[in-house]
C-alpha cells in the first residue's frame, strides 16, 4: 500500500509519477523501496486518469440505520426461522405427492 500511497501523494502534490519520485517518497518515509514493484506501479498507472479513477471509486456513505432493541431483533429472527420452516414443509409435501402420481 505504501507504493500506491506514494503515487497518490505525488499526484496530489502535482508532481510527475515516475520511478525516481516514487522511490524518493518511499525512502523519505523510511520504506525500503523495491524497484520491481515501483516499475510495476508506474506501468500500471500509465495512461490512467487518476482524478477520474478516484471519482468513480468513491462510494457515498449510507446513513446508518437506527439500532434495534434486542427484543425486536429476536422477534425478527423467530419470524425468519418460521418462514424457513414453512417453505421446507411445503417442499417436502410437494415431493411426497409426486411419489403417489
**40-92: pLDDT as tens digits:** 999 999 999 988 888 888 766 555 555 555 666 667 776 666 555 554 566 65
Q: Is 34 helix (H, G, I), strand (E, B) or coil?
A: coil
**What fold, for 2-57?**
Arc Repressor Mutant, subunit A (1.10.10)
Rounded CA separation 99/50 (Å): 63
What is d(CA 23, CA 35) in angstroms, rounded to the nearest whole number?
Answer: 8
**Helix, strand, coil proportions of the chain in percent (round to 5)?**
70, 0, 30
- Cell 510527475 sits at which residue? 16
pLDDT at site 56: 87
What is the Rg, in whole angstroms, of the alpha carbon atoms belonging to the chain? Answer: 28
pTM of the predicted model, to two decimals? 0.55
Least confident of 14-23, 24-33, 74-83: 74-83
CA atoms within 13 A on the CB side of 42: 15
Amino acid at each position: 500500500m505504501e507504493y500506491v500511497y506514494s503515487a497518490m501523494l505525488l499526484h496530489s502534490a502535482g508532481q510527475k509519477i515516475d520511478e525516481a519520485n516514487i522511490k524518493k517518497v518511499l525512502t523519505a518515509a523510511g520504506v525500503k523501496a523495491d524497484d520491481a514493484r515501483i516499475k510495476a506501479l508506474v506501468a500500471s498507472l500509465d495512461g490512467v486518469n487518476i482524478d477520474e479513477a478516484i471519482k468513480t471509486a468513491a462510494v457515498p456513505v449510507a446513513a446508518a440505520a437506527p439500532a434495534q432493541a434486542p427484543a425486536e431483533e429476536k422477534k425478527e429472527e423467530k419470524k425468519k426461522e418460521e418462514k424457513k420452516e414453512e417453505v421446507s414443509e411445503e417442499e417436502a409435501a410437494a415431493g411426497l405427492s409426486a411419489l403417489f402420481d
